[in-house]
Copies of this chain bind each other. A is one copy, B any other.
Amino acid sequence: MKVLLVEDDQFHASYMEDVLVETLPEVTQIFHAVNGQEAEREARAMSIEAVVMDLRMSQCNGIEAAQILWQERADTRILFWSNYADEAYLRGISAIVPEDSAYGYLLKTAPRDRLKLALRAVLVEGQIMVDREIHRLQRRTSSPRNTLDDSEFAVLLDLSLGLQDRMIAERQGMSLRTVQNRLLSLYDKLGVEDVSDDETPINKRVRALNRALITRTLNIETLETAEREFERWQSSRA
């Protein structure tokens, strides 16, 4: 089995390589890439079917890279391996994972044993495996039922790009007023108060983006990805 390791931190890369050879005797070759473009080239040239992917890299981020890999062959098995337990990453991944593909999401702070287990489960057995830390995070209830549903999240993405209500409505196929209702529930779930302590009114749109970032519902990579998707959508109609 050939494995592609996409990781721009040399220490983490060599650690992972070490664990790979120790854990999986099935592995015959390990290829390297330090960003998304390289990963794409390598995977195509070497017909890779198992990948370990860092999420935060310079250039193209891990989620977009994974999307390209899965477009080319949907049965690619990918273990995402990240420093951060951002809800944004998990949402990004579940938005692009093909029907019955194998993938996993593990934190870099996971102990060696759990890493070994995840490597075998995902890359060899083709299972789906998500680090408990991350799963727990998704179900958190810091404020009452603050889990965003898909349409709310889509509106949040559009908002974060700076789109106005009218454009969001057009893009989401909603009426103007519905978009505004979504925004209302977004403000609620993100904990956007209409006034701060000291009777200071705030700009809710900006505040919503701020809160989404601080709670890790969004992160900067998400914004970049959303931007590119918006441009594609915009050019695909005219």
Dominant secondary structure at the A interface? helix
List 5 extra interface pairs beyond A198-B238, A200-B234, CB under 8 A: A161-B206, A163-B200, A167-B201, A196-B234, A213-B213
A238 to B197, CA, bound (A): 11
A163 to B204, CA, bound (A): 9
A83 to B234, CA, bound (A): 34
Q: A11-B15, A12-B11 are in contact. Are A162 and B198 (CB under 8 A)?
A: no
Q: A214, B210: Cβ atoms under 8 Å?
A: no
A35 within 8 A of B: no
Q: Within residues 4 to 60 of chain A, which ones have a CB less than 8 A from any CB in chain B?
A: 9, 11-12, 15
Most B CB within 10 A of own CB, among A160, A167, A196, A206: A206
Q: A198-B234, A198-B238, A219-B220 are in contact. Are A210 and B164 (CB under 8 A)?
A: no
- Measured CB to CB, the nearest residue on chain B to A196 is B234
Question: Closest CB-CB distance, A26 to chain B, in whole Å?
Answer: 26
| Interface size bracket, A side | 35 or more
Q: Within residues 200 to 237 of chain A, which ones have a CB less than 8 A from any CB in chain B?
A: 200-210, 213-214, 219-220, 223-224, 227, 234
Q: Which residues of B contact A162 (CB under 8 A)?
A: 192, 202-204, 206-208, 210
Query: Would you list 17 pairs from A and B whose C-beta atoms are within 8 A, ordered by A residue?
Result: A9-B83, A9-B108, A11-B12, A161-B210, A162-B203, A162-B207, A162-B210, A163-B202, A164-B203, A167-B201, A198-B234, A200-B234, A205-B206, A206-B206, A206-B209, A210-B223, A214-B220
A121 within 8 A of B: no
Q: Which residues of B contact A196 (CB under 8 A)?
A: 234
A133 to B86, CA, bound (A): 28
A130 within 8 A of B: no
Question: Closest CB-CB distance, A211 to chain B, in whole Å?
Answer: 8
